[in-house]
Structure 1
């Protein structure tokens, strides 16, 4: 470089350029972050401002903090994280925003799953993580930073989350009592682990031959299915207990949609786990393989239509907002790729192309390794209760063909609604 009259990078700059993760954390627009912080800071209420001040003063005075911020969903935890992160990054400090799941991390500014040490770790949805995750991080940071006498090697750690995993609720209200397991009549056959909860009639749809169609019409009506928009689909959903039930509802709704569609067939293959290869294909013909279904793997026949909502089943590119659980809306169905627009996370409105990928399933209960090449997508007019976590919906249908597994699961399902008028339940 010197021969051509170019400046030679210093050792410090060389160290940064050779570390991709460090380079990413140092490449923010500090002036833009400063302007963002000036706009957001006055919007903090008293409680959030007190947390913000403690974190800011502790970092500026280099006094380690280990803090947990507890609040129901919708109370502004993510907004608080954004204020803290924008301030520190505008000062050139490195902040790692992490979450237990990929979809939760998309709610954070430049959020990722845990992967490196930093000046401040903001860990959202902390109650969803196993305690061993924190124990392992603690031991690793003490080892890496050569600091055995301080928790997390002296790194500032800010945890947050909601032990009930819900949206805003009224104190002492019916919904909160469900989450606290303070409501319900014990089952005579299993009084310790099971109880019956009476749901108000105002929330129920009467069971009948057309009851599921009534639930679908309550949530989506006619307009959303014929002329859907991102804003409309984003605040509507039907939730149920299992993937099988959600798939059945999605199949029924997709038949009601009148837009152009396309069916994508997968390429299924198997590889024997043992030595014996003779007549293996005869024992497991391709028609049999096409009918196999496994958790987290799309079906052999993937039926999609223009403007229908879809959900990613794998992490593809988290920096671009494409991770397991991201919701999108289909805009074009091409032979080898699917063009869609992101509806959730920090990349809302971004147009992306989804390719086919290979799914591998290996289990002790089958004598072969199963491989399916298919688009990592599923229709998501309906989804499981777990996948609905973190969403705030103006129209929600809860379909419960069988009892829920726990108080917490029913609590999460009911708390997706923003008001009693926005929810209907079909038992």
Structure 2
């Protein structure tokens, strides 16, 4: 999903190399080398600042001269259907996968005036209630307290939310449901002194300001943890034992200054 200029620059570079060293393949895409591109055009396109939608589409690889030399390969077997031994679950997963593809292709209930009404299956909907977060948690994590010691229970489930604020609300609610004492951990909040030749004023970035920054990929300044709570590792620690980005973990012990004794589960 990168800009087409990346691939065109690589094509020119490989052509020059093959022409200079082997005098072969310079008239073929990428100097005759086989390249595999992985991606899904149903995902969001890359960002082109201050450009229109047409300009963004024009910058994608399928608008490049290289696209005519590409062969599109599609997956034909849903591997998720092999994860469950239940035939009813497999059938439900298959129907959901087909419905998602139809939504992405725009073939669901198409109307001539370019407007579409998509009907969502009842089993995917959460009934209206006063406690919408409770309904969401109960739907994704049924009998959560009874399954606290079952690591696969958290491994196979996850909640998705559109904003970080919603993520924090759901996390705080689920944490309140887990029994036990809660401990608060704060990040190191001392800023580095800016160099004198820098144009940015270091006084603007006070610890109070930095502690309020919340963005994807960076943990909050304050973490409230309990024993048994599931967490996710954001940075590589030791890949040899499976501690890499997005590894799911279960907290088994909390100390005064740090938390340790963590069992990892991919």
Please report the TM-score for the alignment, with normalisation by the length of structure 1.
0.40
5 Å-filtered alignment, 1:180-219, equals 180-183=105-108, 196-219=117-140
Match of 1:419 in 2: none
Do 1:147 and 1:153's aligned partners in 2 also have CA atoms closer than 8 Å? no
* Deviation (angstroms), 1:156: 5.7
- Report the structure, 1 or 2, having the larger strand content: 1
Q: CA deviation digits over 1:375-408, x for unaligned, max 9?
A: xxxxxxxxxxxxxxxxxxxxxxxxxxxxxxxxxx
Match of 1:331 in 2: 252
Match of 2:91 in 1: none
Bigger mean CA deviation after superposition, 331-340 or 138-147: 138-147
Match of 1:251 in 2: 172
- Determine helix, strand or coil for the equivalent of 1:176: helix
Match of 2:52 in 1: none
Do 2:184 and 2:225's aligned partners in 1 also have CA atoms closer than 8 Å? yes
Aligned length: 209
Do 1:170 and 1:176's aligned partners in 2 also have CA atoms closer than 8 Å? no
> Which protein has greater RCO, CA pairs closer than 8 Å, 6+ apart?
1
CA distance in 2, matches of 1:332, 1:172: 39
Match of 2:150 in 1: 229
For residues 331 and 252 of structure 1, do their structure 2 counterparts lie closer, same or farther at Cα, with a shift above 3 Å needed? Answer: same
For residues 250 and 333 of structure 1, do their structure 2 counterparts lie closer, same or farther at Cα, with a shift above 3 Å needed? Answer: same
Among candidates 340, 365, 382, match of residue 262 of structure 2? 340
Q: CA deviation digits over 1:203-249, x for unaligned, max 9?
A: 21222312320221122123456623221111111112223212221
For residues 183 and 340 of structure 1, do their structure 2 counterparts lie closer, same or farther at Cα, with a shift above 3 Å needed? Answer: same
In the alignment, is residue 312 of structure 1 matched against residue 233 of structure 2?
A: yes
In the alignment, is residue 297 of structure 1 matched against residue 218 of structure 2?
A: yes
- Determine helix, strand or coil for the equivalent of 1:249: helix
CA distance in 2, matches of 1:224, 1:141: 61
Do 1:234 and 1:343's aligned partners in 2 also have CA atoms closer than 8 Å? yes
Please report the TM-score for the alignment, with normalisation by the length of structure 2.
0.60
Match of 2:101 in 1: 176
5 Å-filtered alignment, 1:373-384, equals none
CA distance in 2, matches of 1:298, 1:203: 30
Do 1:147 and 1:154's aligned partners in 2 also have CA atoms closer than 8 Å? no
For residues 202 and 221 of structure 1, do their structure 2 counterparts lie closer, same or farther at Cα, with a shift above 3 Å needed? Answer: closer
Do 1:306 and 1:333's aligned partners in 2 also have CA atoms closer than 8 Å? yes
Q: CA deviation digits over 1:252-304, x for unaligned, max 9?
A: 10111114442211122344553767xx3xx7654444223233221111112
Do 1:142 and 1:148's aligned partners in 2 also have CA atoms closer than 8 Å? no
Q: CA RMSD in A?
A: 4.0
CA distance in 2, matches of 1:319, 1:142: 39
Match of 1:262 in 2: 183
Do 2:211 and 2:221's aligned partners in 1 also have CA atoms closer than 8 Å? yes
For residues 244 and 131 of structure 1, do their structure 2 counterparts lie closer, same or farther at Cα, with a shift above 3 Å needed? Answer: farther
5 Å-filtered alignment, 1:360-379, equals none
Match of 2:56 in 1: none
Q: Which runs of 5+ in 1 are unaligned?
A: 1-127, 345-427
Do 1:225 and 1:257's aligned partners in 2 also have CA atoms closer than 8 Å? no
